[in-house]
Structure 1
Amino acid sequence: METSVVLLVLLAALLHATWNAFLHLSEDRIWLLGMMSIPYLVVSAIGVCVLPLPARAAWPYICASVVLESGYCLALIRAYRSGDFGQIYPIARGLSPMLVCAGAFVFAHETLKPLAMAGVALVSLGIISLAFRRNMRFSGESVPFALLTGCFIASYSVVDGIGARVSGNGLSYVMWVYLLWNVPQFLLVWKWRGGARGLFIGREPVLKGMLSGVIALTAYCFIIEAYRYLPIAMVSALRELSTIFAVLIGWLFMREKLTVRRIVACTLVTLGAVLIRV
């Protein structure tokens, strides 16, 4: 069971890097979030109708997750406005594993074995080093927003990890989170773009936007399910292997350089994941 859950998390990592690449490449990221909200709303509306209600203890976590997910999206959009995908994504994702580890210890009373802790540290170090520029410095005005994004990621990861466990049904939990989060998000984008005429601008971009939503929703459903079987910090760290996929996507499709530093960083991340798994 554990091996299959780990493989599920790795698939989620690939899907997560993919939809972030779509967001980065979009000329109108707020519009893309509006398009992504449509499959979220359709699937979650069906989900809340057919799945059992989450347990009463889960509702504070659902409400907190809705707020944190909204903050995450706003911070990520601002970070991508002027930042390079190969820099912003690693900063945002690399900060979260260690923060999640601390949060899971404080709020969920989870502890990892020393070898796994070393693996989490290597994952974070390797991911953040992907964002370094010359002279081992960060560059760009988007870096503070990338750091803020990482804080939001860590916060909702801990909240969702605990919430999924106390809910009695992880899928029901995430369906309610996505429904309550995406209704106001979609309405805001709808109003901002002036209704259907401004939102549905053409078949191809609309389909791409909705596909991004399907990919993102699927990825996080996998993560929520994994939280029920593995420690929160372990799931968070393994999920951040998405940065390796992000580097490859940036190299293959965005003409970003695959430098020696990035290869070394990816090796550190992979080694950290091996230590966590062992």
Structure 2
Amino acid sequence: METLVVLLVLLSALLHATWNAFLHLSEDRIWLLGMMAMPYIAVSAVGVIVLPMPAPAAWPYIFASVVLEFGYLLALIRAYKSGDFGQIYPIARGLSPMLVFVGALVFAHEALKPLAAIGVALVSLGIVSLAFRRGMRFSGESVPFALLTGFFIATYSVVDGIGARLAGNGLSYIMWVYLIWNIPQFLLAWHWRGGAKGLFIGRAMVLKGIAAGLLALSAYCLIIEAYRYLPIAMVSALREMSSIFAVLIGWLFMREKLTARRIVACALVTLGAVLIRV
């Protein structure tokens, strides 16, 4: 069972890197997020009807997660405004495994075995080093927002890890989070783009936005279920294998360079993931 859960987390990582690439390439990120909200609303509306209600103890975590998700998206949009995908994504994702490790230890009382803890550290180190430029310096005015994004990722990961367990049903928990979060997100995009005429600008574009939403929805549903079977810090670190997928996507489709330094960084992340799994 554990091996299957790990494979599902890695699938989630691939899906996550893919929808982030859609967001980075979009010329209108507000519009894309509005389109992405549509499958979230449709699926979560069905989910809250057919799934059992979350336990009362989970509701503070549901509302906290909604607020943190909004903060995460605002920081991510600003980070992608002027930064390279291959730099911003690793910075944002690389901080979270270590922050989640600390948060899970303090708030969920989860302590990893030494080998797994070393693996988490290697994953974080490898991911952040993917963003280094010549001279081992960060570049770009978007970096502070990428760091802020990483903070939001770590915070909502710990909140969701605890909340999903308290809810009694992980999918029910995340359906309510997504419903409460995405209705105002869609309405804001609708308002900012002047209603249907500005939001539904062409069938192909709309389908692209909906596809990105389905990828994002599927990715995090897999993570929420994984939280029920594996330690929060372990799931968080394994899902950040998405940074390797992001580097490959940037290289294959965005003409970003795949340097020797980045190859070494990917090797560090992979080694960390192996240690976590062992």
TM-score of the two chains, using structure 1 as the length reference: 1.00
Tell me by how many angstroms 1:160 deviates.
0.1
1:69 pairs with 2:78: no
Match of 2:163 in 1: 163
Query: C-alpha offsets along residues 137-177 of structure 1, whole Å, 9 cap, x if unaligned?
Result: 00000000000000000000000000000100000000000
Q: What SS class does the counterpart of residue 247 from structure 1 fall into?
A: helix
Aligned to 1:125: 125
Distance 2:114 2:175 in 1: 35
Deviation, structure 1 residue 51 = 0.5
What residue identity is the alignment partner of 1:256?
Answer: E
Distance in 1 (CA, whole Å) between partners of 2:102 and 2:236 is 12
User: For residue 112 of structure 1, what is the aligned residue in structure 2?
Assistant: 112
Which deviations, in whole Å up to 9, do the C-alpha atoms of 1:12-63 show, x marking residues without a partner? 0000000000000000011100000000000000100111100000000000
Q: 2:206 maps to what in 1?
A: 206
Aligned position for 2:241: 241
Q: Distance in 2 between matches of 1:14 and 1:136?
A: 27
Give the SS at the match of 2:194. coil
For 1:254, the aligned partner's letter is: M
Amino acid of the structure 1 residue aligned with 2:77: I
2: CA distance, partners of 1:132 / 1:49: 46
CA distance in 2, matches of 1:134, 1:8: 35
Give the counterpart letter for 1:71 in structure 2: G
CA shift digits 1:177-207 (9 cap, x unpaired): 0000001111111011111010000011100
Task: State, as a whole percentage, how many aligned pairs show the same letter.
Answer: 84
Structure 1: distance between partners of 2:72 and 2:105: 22
Task: Give the corresponding residue for 2:3.
Answer: 3
State the partner residue of 1:48: 48
- Report what 1:224 is aligned to: 224
Structure 2 CA distance, aligned partners of 1:21 and 1:78? 15
- CA distance in structure 1 between the partners assigned to 2:81 and 2:174 by the alignment: 28
Residues 23-34 of structure 1: matches in 2 within 5 Å? 23-34=23-34
The 5 A counterparts of 1:82-93 are 82-93=82-93
Per the TM alignment, residue 277 of structure 1 is displaced from its structure 2 partner at its CA by: 0.2
| 1:102-144 CA distance string (max 9 Å, x none) | 0000000000000000000000000000000011000000000
> SS where residue 81 of structure 2 aligns?
helix
Q: Please tell me the residue identity of whatever aligns with 2:127.
A: I
DSSP 3-state at the match of 2:140: coil
- Name the CA distance, whole Å, in 1 between partners of 2:160 and 2:221: 11
Does 1:143 pair with 2:150? no
SS of the equivalent of 2:135 reads helix
Question: Structure 2 length normalisation: TM-score?
Answer: 1.00
1:171 and 1:80 map into 2 onto residues whose CA distance is: 30
Deviating runs (4+, > 3 A) in structure 1?
A: none
The whole-number CA distance in structure 1 between the counterparts of 2:252 and 2:138 is 23
Task: Give the number of aligned pairs.
Answer: 278
Structure 1 vs Structure 2 CA RMSD: 0.3
Aligned match of 2:195: 195
Partners of 1:263 and 1:53 in 2: CA distance: 46
